[in-house]
Amino acid sequence: MRLRATSWVPLLSYGGGVILCLVSALVASNGNTPAVIIGFAGGGLAIALGLNTARQMGEKVNQLSSLHAQSELLQSQLEAQQRAVDNLADGLEVALFICDSRGQIVYANRRASELFDFRDPRGRPVLAVTLSHDLERIALDAQRTEQPQRSELSFSFPKERVGLVKAWVNPEDPGKVFLSVYDITDLRRLERIRQDFVANVSHELRTPMTLIRSMAETLLDDAEKATQSERYLTKIIDEVDRLSLMSQDLLILSAAESNPVRKHGCDIADVFRASVVQLEASAHRKGLELRYDGAKECLIEANTAQMVQVALNLIQNAINYTNTGSIVVTVKQKKDVAEISVEDTGIGIASEHLPRIFERFYRIDKGRSRNTGGTGLGLSIAKHIVEAHGGELKVDSALNRGSTFTVVLPLG
């Protein structure tokens, strides 16, 4: 090790001082008093200077070694924190990636390695590890827009999986992208099983119901004289009809849930106007006024058959739950949405029921719903269809004063 130039200063001062003192002592032995005084004073001064500089240097060395110890402590604390974050990320059920500005993975937690069956994905592009162009695109979109991106993606490697993906940039360093993938394969599989079950049950119920109905009808013809059996047979037929309606509604709901919406150009004004015409007779039989009071035309992107379903459910409900007065249907185009309302002067809905009426089989008055041929599924079907189109179904109602159901649908 070489001493620095500054290390010589105290040594030289101290050494020089000692030599000067020795020389003075020698001179003193020769009897030269002024030279002795000057020599001792100079020597003493040099020694004091040397000692002071050495003390200052000692302090500096102490400070340096304490700084060094502090930096080592900080370093070890930082490493411990890093390990804690890594352990935390490794314990998560969500796959996590951090990518650099070139789309290369700089970090992946354990779940990410398991999900994509890759031992150490670091330093490799997202596409090479996951074989998913969609995942790569989401990461790039997040980086380009600096906005969080979310999507449900299907992965085919190393096996078929469905994941909820989120990509967002690090605000401190927008070049870095965080990617999380939450595996929802099992959830989607269970949903599919449930939907298939509903569809299968509805199909299975249909055949025996049709048979029972036709047999009861035959018996009814034969039993003209026996009034009691006629009563029972009529009841059997009514109940079978109700079951048929329910099975039909379950099928509609199941189909709406399982198939992606196939949209095309749809004149929503025409759909609601035609539904009004279709249900006019039913309203008039109850002495109600039913009229369409909206735009001539309003073009949106939607599935027309499903929109007809929404229109019929809402208008039929308005007829069912109105005793006197009128039902007015309007369609308006507002900026980039179509707003449709079905307003009645009917029995209304008490506020405590409002949040629940869109639930499956929820009916405020079961008896009334049964008498009107309701299945308790009409509103849930309508809501599901509207939301699958990116729209909203709202209700505004007051007991004994009537209800207004409003559908808001995006034009495009």
Q: What are the residue ranges of helices labelled H in 372-410?
A: 378-388
Residue 172 DSSP code:
T
> Is the bond preceding residue 208 a cis peptide, omega within 30 degrees?
no
Using CB under 6 A as the binding rule, whether residue 288 contacts ligand ADP is answered as no
Are 282 and 332 in contact, with CB atoms under 8 Å apart? no
Extract the tokens encoding 56.
């200052």
Which of 17, 50, 163, 378 lies at the binding interface for ligand ADP (CB under 6 A)? 378
For ligand ADP, give the closer residue by CB, 165 or 347. 347
* Least separation in angstroms between CB 268 and ligand ADP: 20
* Least separation in angstroms between CB 242 and ligand ADP: 11
For ligand ADP, give the closer residue by CB, 63 or 372. 372
* Least separation in angstroms between CB 261 and ligand ADP: 21
For ligand ADP, give the closer residue by CB, 183 or 344. 344
For ligand ADP, give the closer residue by CB, 53 or 254. 254
Dihedral sign for Cα 238, 243, 247, 253, please.
positive
Size of the site for ligand ADP (CB under 6 A): 22
* Least separation in angstroms between CB 388 and ligand ADP: 17
Give strand pairing partners of 152.
Answer: 164
For ligand ADP, give the closer residue by CB, 51 or 388. 388
Residue nearest to ligand ADP (CB): 374
Give strand pairing partners of 161.
Answer: 155
Which of 20, 375, 385, 391 lies at the binding interface for ligand ADP (CB under 6 A)? 375
Which of 135, 283, 321, 330 lies at the binding interface for ligand ADP (CB under 6 A)? 321
Q: How far apart are CA 359 and CA 142, in angstroms?
A: 36
Using CB under 6 A as the binding rule, whether residue 379 contacts ligand ADP is answered as yes
* Least separation in angstroms between CB 390 and ligand ADP: 22
Residue type at 386? Answer: V
* Least separation in angstroms between CB 328 and ligand ADP: 12
Q: How far apart are CA 403 and CA 317, in angstroms?
A: 10
Which of 105, 181, 266, 377 lies at the binding interface for ligand ADP (CB under 6 A)? 377
For ligand ADP, give the closer residue by CB, 20 or 246. 246
Extract the tokens encoding 62.
């102490």
Extract the tokens encoding 254.
């199941």
Q: How far apart are CA 28 and CA 22, in angstroms?
A: 10
* Least separation in angstroms between CB 350 and ligand ADP: 10
Chain centroid offset of residue 151 CA: 8
Of 291, 305, 295, whose CA–CA distance to 344 is shortest? 291
Q: How far apart are CA 61 and CA 46, in angstroms?
A: 22
Site string for ligand ADP, 323-352 (x = CB under 6 A): ---------------------x-xx-x---
For ligand ADP, give the closer residue by CB, 232 or 362. 362
* Least separation in angstroms between CB 256 and ligand ADP: 14
Site string for ligand ADP, 191-220 (x = CB under 6 A): ------------------------------
Q: How far apart are CA 368 and CA 355, in angstroms?
A: 20
Q: How far apart are CA 281 and CA 287, in angstroms?
A: 10
**Residues 350-369 close enough to bind ligand ADP by CB under 6 A:** 357, 362-365, 369
Q: In 300-332, which positions are buried (b, 16+ CB within 10 angstroms) versus exposed (e)?
A: bebbbebbbbbbbbbbbbbbbbbeeebbbbbbe
Using CB under 6 A as the binding rule, whether residue 294 contacts ligand ADP is answered as no
* Least separation in angstroms between CB 361 and ligand ADP: 8
Q: How far apart are CA 404 and CA 346, in angstroms?
A: 10
Q: How far apart are CA 74 and CA 160, in angstroms?
A: 45
Site string for ligand ADP, 118-157 (x = CB under 6 A): ----------------------------------------
Using the structure block, give the residue that is written with the tokens 């735009």.
295
**Distances 99 to 103, 114, 167, 239, 383 between C-alpha atoms, Å:** 5, 18, 10, 62, 40
Which of 10, 163, 294, 374 lies at the binding interface for ligand ADP (CB under 6 A)? 374
For ligand ADP, give the closer residue by CB, 21 or 318. 318
Are 67 and 86 in contact, with CB atoms under 8 Å apart? no
For ligand ADP, give the closer residue by CB, 132 or 320. 320
For ligand ADP, give the closer residue by CB, 39 or 374. 374
Interface ranges with ligand ADP (CB under 6 A): 313, 317-318, 321, 344, 346-347, 349, 357, 362-365, 369, 374-380, 403
